[in-house]
Amino acid sequence: MIIIKNGQELQNMRQACKITAAARALAGEMVRPGITTGAIDKAVHDFIVSQGAKPSFLGYHGFPGSTCISVNHTVIHGIPGSYVLQDGDIVSVDVGAYYKGFHGDCAATYPCGTISADAQKLIDVTRQSFFEGIRFAKRGNRVSDISHAIQTHVESNGFSVVRSFVGHGVGAQLHEEPEVPNFGAPGRGPRLLPGMTLAIEPMVNAGVFDVRVLKDNWTTVTLDGKLSAHYENTVLITDGEPEILTVAEGL
């Protein structure tokens, strides 16, 4: 069942999303050669708690971190720890915060030091594909109209869209209906209605779209070992233009 949020629920969710966005920004500012992914995770955890919220990911189905930090060929669900970031890495940070009964969810990929032109293009195309998608996140359209726009932009730039994992509704639960794939034909799936809140999150690989999950049952990597990037925001469907909720202004 797709849950439509009312005014008070959206007010709480906006605050959860502001905290989430600020946590993502903090993590991005910390990405530099020589720092561990665990240190970034601790800083994000402490920030979220300082805002009166809880990290959405910590303990979720047993996940051990407050953030997912995925480096280079890791697509998603990287477990933060002792890895020391190196010059040239690309670092995807996915974060969620739970506040007054609602979750925010967002992600971005950051360059560590000096990265290759190809890696920068991957980051840029992934981010732009999100914005191509939300052009269609409007009342009366269908979920797959977003999906198709994302896929078209990604593939026109020579990259591939991960198919094994998709975006999703978000609200009182971290993962709600509907699923929001980053691929597919337009005109399919649920019709978009005001009050729907969606985590739209292109996951884009430099090579093939196939992935595999490592033995820790979390870390998901590209099958061919090539780079991957991730970009995500929580988006509200309105009567007009979509509203990106995961912005940190006014926190």
Average pLDDT over residues 81-110: 98
Mean pLDDT of the chain: 97
Q: What is the pLDDT of residues 181-237, one digit of tens each?
A: 999 999 999 999 999 999 999 999 999 999 999 999 999 999 999 999 999 999 999
User: Domains in the chain, please, with CATH?
Assistant: 7-244 (3.90.230.10)
Q: Residue 248 — pLDDT band, cuts 50, 70, 90?
A: confident
Average pLDDT over residues 118-137: 98
Q: What is the pLDDT of residues 14-68, one digit of tens each?
A: 999 999 999 999 999 999 999 999 999 999 999 999 999 999 999 999 999 999 9
Asked whether the predicted pLDDT for residue 251 surpasses 60, the reply is no
Per-residue model confidence (pLDDT) at position 250: 56
Per-residue model confidence (pLDDT) at position 249: 67
Q: Is the dihedral of CA 180, 186, 189, 191 positive or negative?
A: positive
Q: Residue 157 — pLDDT band, cuts 50, 70, 90?
A: very high
Q: What angle do CA 13, 19, 23 make, to 5 degrees?
A: 140
The reported pTM is 0.97
What does the alpha-carbon distance between residue 206 and residue 66 come to, in Å, rounded to a whole number? 27
Q: Is the dihedral of CA 160, 128, 232, 64 positive or negative?
A: positive
More confident residue, 16 or 250: 16
Q: What is the pLDDT of residues 173-188, one digit of tens each?
A: 999 999 999 999 999 9
Give the residue among 61, 60, 57, 59 at the shortest CA–CA distance from 69. 57
Give the residue among 65, 76, 107 at the shortest CA–CA distance from 211. 76
